[in-house]
Structures are given as structure tokens and as C-alpha cells.
Amino acid sequence: MTRLAVGLAASGGVSLVAGMLVAIVIADHSSSDSSPSSLIAIVLGSIGIILVVLGCVLFAAAGLVRLRRWASRTPGGGSPSRPTPQ
């Protein structure tokens, strides 16, 4: 699950950078109308933000799952179904 989270965050970063490049290089900022290049920049930026947030949420969820597994371990190395004799 962490690979998916990292992949989503990386894809979101690439999409954000692509949106910024489109906004800086291609989009015509002299007119106030909604040109296709401006809309492409907005969509790429929005998709990038969504992917980065989704990747962060998945990464946090994977961390919580690991923390829950670690916290539920029994002391002494036994498994919950077969406790170690004392």
C-alpha cells in the first residue's frame, strides 16, 4: 500500500508541475476569457492536488495499520492465538 501511496504522490507532483508549466509557458494571461490552455492548467493542477492528498492519506493509513499491528503484539514474542507459557 505504501508503494501505491508514493506512486500517487509522485504522479500528483508531476501533474502539478505540468500544470504550472502549461500555465506559465502556454496559457495566454493577457485575456480574461477561459482559454483551453488555461483550463488545461487548472485541471492538471487540480488533479495534482487531489493525487498528492490521496497519496498522503494512503501513506498515513498504511502507517496506522503498522502501528496497530505493532501495538497489538503480545509481549514476549508469542502470538495472540498461542501465548507463551509463563
The band of 2, judged by pLDDT with boundaries at 50, 70 and 90, is: confident
pLDDT of res. 40: 85
pLDDT of res. 10: 93
In the chain, where the domains are located: 2-27+34-68
Render 29-80 in DSSP notation, one character per residue: -SS-S--HHHHHHHHHHHHHHHHHHHHHHHHHHHHHHHHHHHHTSPTTS--S
Q: What is the pLDDT of residues 42-86, one digit of tens each?
A: 899 999 999 999 999 999 999 999 999 888 876 665 555 655 566
The band of 22, judged by pLDDT with boundaries at 50, 70 and 90, is: confident
Whole-number Å distance between alpha carbons of 37 and 68: 46
pLDDT of res. 36: 79
Q: If you count them, how many residues does the chain have? A: 86
